[in-house]
Amino acid sequence: MRPRLQVVEPLAPADERGFDGDDVALVEAFRRGHPAARRELHARYAGHVRRVLYRVLGPDPDLADLHHDVFVRALVSLPKLQDPAALKPWLTSITVHVARSAINRRQRARWLGFRPPEELPELEAETVPPEVREALNATWAVLRAMPTDDRIAFSLRYIDGMELTDVAEACGTSLATIKRRLARAQQRFMTRALRSPVLKDWVEEETR
C-alpha cells in the first residue's frame, strides 16, 4: 500500500466550525484556511465518494486507496472551484475520473488477467442473500468487460440510481451523449447478461 498524505484534521465542535450543512460556507472556510474545513469535507462526503466508487468498480482491493486519492485531488483543486454550491457534483466528477483512470490502467495492464477472482474482496453487506451476492458479482463481471465510458454511465444510472442530468455532469459530458452511452451500454449488458447462467433468469424476469 502506498504512503498517504494527511488529508484530514481533528474536527472542531459544530458551533466552532460555523459551516455545518452549508457547502458554500465550507468552501469559503477552506479557502480562508479554517483548521477544521478539511475534516468537515471528509466527514460530509466520505460516504458518498465511497458509494460512487463501489457502484462503478464493484468489490475492489484498491477501494481505500482510490477513496483517498479522490480527497487528495479535491483538496488540491478546491481553491479553484468556481461554484461552491456545486461542491457535491464537483466531488462526484472527481470520483468518476479517479474510477475511470483506475479502470483504464487495469485494462492497459490486463489487470484482470493477472488477479484471480478469488482475490477480489467480498461484498460489504454480510446480510446480502447468497443468490443476490452471486448475481451482483456476475453483474460486475459483465460490466468489467464493457468499454469504460459505457460501464461508468451504466453503473451510475442503474446501480447507483443517479438522475440522467447528474450522470452527465459526473461524466463531464452532455445529456445527449449520456443517453447514447446508456442505450449502447444497456444493449451490451443485456446481451452479455443473457449469456450468463447466473444473470439470465434475473434479466428475463425483469423484462417480462
The owner of cell 460555523 is 18
pLDDT tens digits along 45-89: 999 999 999 999 988 888 999 999 999 999 999 999 999 999 999
Q: Which long-range contacts (CB under 8 A, 24 or more apart) does 23-32 make?
A: 23/84, 23/85, 23/87, 23/88, 24/84, 24/85, 24/87, 26/84, 26/87, 27/78, 27/81, 27/84, 27/87, 28/84, 30/78, 30/79, 31/78, 31/79
pLDDT tens digits along 10-44: 444 444 445 666 899 999 999 988 888 999 999 99
pLDDT tens digits along 91-102: 999 999 999 999
From the candidate CATH numbers 1.10.1040.10, 1.10.1740.10, 3.10.129.10, 1.10.10.10, the one assigned to the domain spanning 1-120: 1.10.1740.10
What is the value of pTM for the model shown? 0.77
Whether the Cβ atoms of residue 161 and residue 154 lie closer than 8 Å to each other:
no
Class of domain 122-208: mainly alpha
- Listed by start position, the domains of the chain span 1-120, 122-208
What's the one-letter identity of residue 123? L
Q: Specify the pLDDT at position 124.
A: 52
Q: How far apart (Å, rounded) are the C-alpha atoms in residues 97 and 115?
A: 23
